[in-house]
Structure 1
Amino acid sequence: MRNEKAVVVFSGGQDSTTCLLWALKQFKEVATVTFDYGQRHHEEITCAREIAEELGVSFHVLDMTLINQLSANALTRKDIEVKAGENGELPSTFVPGRNHLFLSFAAVYAQAIGARHIITGVCETDFSGYPDCRDSFVKSLNVTLNLAMDEQFVIHTPLMWLNKAETWKLADQLGSLEFIRAKTLTCYHGVRGDGCGECPACQLRKKGLDDYLTEKQGGSTI
C-alpha cells in the first residue's frame, strides 16, 4: 500500500485524526475530505483544516448542507438537546444517512484524484449505536460503490474493533497522543481538546483516555 493514494474522511475529531495519522504511515499520498453538513459548530471544519495543514496533507470541503434540510437532529439544530439514546432509541445526535452519503461522496472524490483507498474512523465497539458505524454496513457499501462506479475501492476502518482506550493506545503508538488530545475536536458543544466534559462524546473520550493511562501507568497492555 505504500505506493498508493488514499482519501481520509476527516472531521478533525479524535477518531478521524487517528485514522489520518495511521494512513500517513500506510500510503504514499494521503488526501482529506471534510463535509459541511450544516453542523452546529463550524469550528469543526476550521479544526480539520488546521490539522490537515499542520500535517501537510491536502484538504477539501464538500457542501452537504442538504442533510440539514432533510433531518432534524442535535448535530445540525441548536434547538435540539444533545442526549444519549434511551430505551433502545438512537441518540439525538444521529444524522440519518450521514456516513452513507459521506463515504459515497468520498468515493467520487477518490476516483477524481486517482485514489483507491478510503479511510473512515467509524467503530462499533465503543459507539453511540449509530447503524451506519457498523462493520456490516461498511462492507456492504464497499461492494455497492465498486459495482456502481466500476472501481476497486477498499474502505479501511482501522478503529472498527477498538474501544476508546485502544484508540488512545493506537494514537500513542503513532507518537501522537498529546497531539490528538490537544488539537482535535470531539465535543458536541464545539470545545477543542478535552472538550466540555459533559456531553456523551466528551464522556466517552475521557473514559477511554483514563482507562488507557491507567493501564499504561500500571505497565499492562490493553
Structure 2
Amino acid sequence: MNNTKAVVVFSGGQDSTTCLFWAMERFDEVETVTFDYGQRHKLEVEVAAAIAGELNVKHHVLDMSLLGQLAPNALTRNDIAIEQREGSLPTTFVDGRNLLFLSFAAIAAKQIGAKHIVTGVCETDFSGYPDCRDVFVKSLNVTLNLAMDYPFVIDTPLMWLNKAETWELADRLGAFDFVRNRTLTCYNGIVADGCGECPACRLRRKGLDDYSALSGREACSP
C-alpha cells in the first residue's frame, strides 16, 4: 500500500466502483468525487453516495450542470435517442466531460494533498469516446501538472482491459458480488443487471458472460 492519498472519479457504475476497490487496496486514504452534470437519472448520484457510504469513503458531489446545458446529449436529454450512427460519435458522448471531470477532480485532489486521480476510462471496450483514449489521459496529466505545478498521477487501471477482464479484476479484489449487485451502469437507470437492452448493459453483460465462461462464475441473475 502506498502512503498516499487518491481521489477516484466516481459514478457508482461497474468501472468506477472496481476502480474504487482497486484504489482502496493501494492507497492509505481514498476519497470519491461525483459530478452532477444534469444526467437524466439522478439515481446515479444517489447510488454513488450510497456506495461511498457503505465503504466508509468520503464522498464529494460537484455541480457541473452547465456541462449538460452546453452539450446536449442522450444522457441529459429525454428527447435524444441513445444510438450510434456509422461515421459519428454515439449520442451518449458528452463533449468535454472527461476533460472537465478530471480537471475538477485534480483541483479537489490538490486541496486535500492527494497526488493520485483514479478514473475508469478504457480504450479496449469503449464506445468510440475520444476522451477515453490513453493519449488523451497522458496529455491531460502533463497539462494538469503544468497548470498547477503539482505532481499529479492519473491512474487508469482499466485502460487496457476488456469487460471480461474488468469483472476478473473485481473478483480478484473480492468485490465481484458487490459490483454485480450494487452498481448502476444502465443508461435507463436500472441498478445491477440493468435493462439488458441499452449499449452499456449489453457491454456489461457480454463481459460477465465471457468471464463466467472462463471462471465458472454464475452469470445468471441472482
What TM-score does the superposition give when structure 1 sets the normalisation length? 0.96
Equivalence for 2:220: none
Cα drift, residue 68 of structure 1: 1.2
Equivalence for 1:38: 38
Equivalence for 1:192: 191
Cα drift, residue 217 of structure 1: 2.2
Equivalence for 2:111: 112
User: In structure 2, what residue type is equivalent to 1:80?
Assistant: I
User: In structure 2, what residue type is equivalent to 1:97?
Assistant: G
User: In structure 2, what residue type is equivalent to 1:73?
Assistant: N
Taking the aligned partners of 1:49 and 1:152, their CA distance within structure 2 comes to 28
SS in 1 for 2:2: coil
Deviations 1:81-102 (A, max 9, x none): 112x221211110000000000
Taking the aligned partners of 1:80 and 1:87, their CA distance within structure 2 comes to 17
SS in 2 for 1:90: coil
Taking the aligned partners of 1:71 and 1:19, their CA distance within structure 2 comes to 27
Taking the aligned partners of 1:7 and 1:101, their CA distance within structure 2 comes to 15
Identity %: 70
- What are the residue-to-residue correspondences of 1:118-197 with 2, within 5 Å? 118-197=117-196
Structure 1 stretches of 4+ with a deviation exceeding 2 A read: none
Equivalence for 2:70: 70
SS in 1 for 2:204: helix
For these two proteins, the number of residue pairs brought into alignment is 217
Ranges in structure 1 where 5+ consecutive residues have no aligned partner: none
User: In structure 1, what residue type is equivalent to 2:78?
Assistant: K
Taking the aligned partners of 1:86 and 1:215, their CA distance within structure 2 comes to 33
Taking the aligned partners of 1:154 and 1:72, their CA distance within structure 2 comes to 31
Taking the aligned partners of 1:14 and 1:119, their CA distance within structure 2 comes to 14
SS in 2 for 1:28: strand
SS in 1 for 2:93: coil
SS in 2 for 1:61: strand
Deviations 1:155-177 (A, max 9, x none): 00000000000000000000111
SS in 2 for 1:3: strand
Equivalence for 2:55: 55
Taking the aligned partners of 2:175 and 2:61, their CA distance within structure 1 comes to 24
What TM-score does the superposition give when structure 2 sets the normalisation length? 0.96
Deviations 1:156-200 (A, max 9, x none): 000000000000000000011111000000000000000000000
- Is residue 2:81 matched to residue 1:81? yes
RMSD over aligned Cα atoms: 0.9
Cα drift, residue 72 of structure 1: 1.3
User: In structure 2, what residue type is equivalent to 1:34?
Assistant: T
Deviations 1:130-175 (A, max 9, x none): 0000000000000000000000000000000000000000000001
Taking the aligned partners of 2:27 and 2:137, their CA distance within structure 1 comes to 21
